[in-house]
């Protein structure tokens, strides 16, 4: 492993070692998936806070096993290993999405928002996708969680016709190319702060709910082989989406959200 990565400066990441997130950095030019590598190292007993970074993933995945498109040397794809208590797991996704959103707000001065459950959007386009996977023991106890983050930093969506209409990047929204090392440090430091809050018993649910652009909107959610439609009225303490339709509330645990017009609007 090289001490320096083209476009990334590993020596600067040493500043993260005072916390939990970033206590160890594993970098590869190419991996099948940072998620899979983090799982492998977790099974070998890796300490929480491990961050696995890859310039290129040959089998990178997002939610619903979709492929995450990222450009080596321009963007960031990484995974973070955490070992929260079982009752803290529900807030890991909240911490990750808010950390990325905070970084986007600081660097673009634009209204970065969270689309339930784990996308960060700017100008209505996807800036970052976040995936959380957890592993339990045979007895049912939580062993660990892995957060996967794909973050468009210096991507030029106009050069990628397959995503140009749905994706954006920090560079596009800020008007200038950015230092990827600084961006990575900022996201990880913010994640560490949120995780520290979780570990001492703080509940992030209300703070996270206030940041969801989905709340108050009319949506279709493809979930469990069916579509749930209605107005997203809020989330419960576990982060599940509450959808009201014809006076009934449906609790949606996961799914693909599509915004739609309010009834009666054309």
Phi, psi angle pair for 34, to nearest 5°: -65, -30
Question: Exposed, middle or buried by CB within 10 Å (0-12, 13-18, 19+), for 224?
Answer: exposed
Pairing of strands 125-136, 241-245: unpaired
Pairing of strands 8-9, 4-5: antiparallel
d(CA 65, CA 241): 21
Six token digits for residue 212: 């969801």
Count CB-CB contacts under 10 A for residue 208. 22
d(CA 13, CA 10): 5
Of 61, 115, 126, 180, the active-site residue reads 126
Of 63, 110, 125, 156, the active-site residue reads 63
Told to judge if 63 belongs to the known catalytic residues of this protein, a careful annotator would answer yes
d(CA 131, CA 117): 10
Is-contact 81 48, C-beta < 8 A? yes
Coil, strand or helix at 256? strand
Of 12, 40, 237, 260, the active-site residue reads 260
List alpha helices for 63-133, DSSP H.
Answer: 92-108
Is-contact 218 252, C-beta < 8 A? no
Spatial CB neighbours of 65, under 8 Å, sequence gap ≥ 6: none
Told to judge if 110 belongs to the known catalytic residues of this protein, a careful annotator would answer no
Q: Which residues are catalytic?
A: 63, 126, 260
């Amino acid at each position: 492993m090289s001490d320096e990565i083209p476009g990334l400066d590993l020596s600067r990441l040493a500043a993260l070692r005072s916390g939990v997130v970033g206590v160890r950095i594993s970098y590869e030019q190419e991996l099948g998936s940072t998620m899979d590598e983090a799982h492998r190292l977790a099974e070998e007993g890796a300490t929480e806070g491990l961050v696995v970074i890859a310039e290129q993933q040959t089998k990178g995945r997002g939610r619903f096993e979709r492929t995450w498109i990222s450009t080596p040397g321009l963007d960031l794809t990484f995974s973070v290993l955490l070992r929260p208590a079982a009752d803290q797991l529900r807030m890991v996704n909240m911490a990750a999405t808010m950390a990325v959103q905070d970084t986007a707000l600081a660097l673009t001065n634009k209204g970065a928002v969270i689309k339930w459950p784990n996308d960060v959007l700017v100008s209505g386009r996807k800036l970052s996708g976040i995936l959380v996977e957890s592993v339990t023991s045979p007895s049912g106890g939580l062993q660990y969680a892995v957060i996967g983050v794909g973050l468009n930093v210096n991507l030029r969506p106009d050069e990628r016709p397959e995503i140009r209409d749905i994706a954006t990047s920090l560079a596009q929204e800020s008007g200038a190319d950015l230092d990827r090392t600084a961006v990575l440090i900022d996201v990880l430091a913010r994640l560490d702060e949120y995780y520290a809050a979780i570990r001492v018993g703080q509940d992030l649910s209300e703070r996270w709910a206030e940041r969801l652009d989905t709340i108050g909107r009319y949506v279709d959610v493809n979930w469990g082989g069916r579509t749930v439609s209605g107005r997203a009225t809020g989330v419960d303490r576990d982060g599940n989406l509450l959808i009201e339709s014809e006076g009934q509330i449906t609790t949606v645990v996961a799914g693909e959200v599509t915004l739609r017009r309010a009834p009666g609007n054309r």
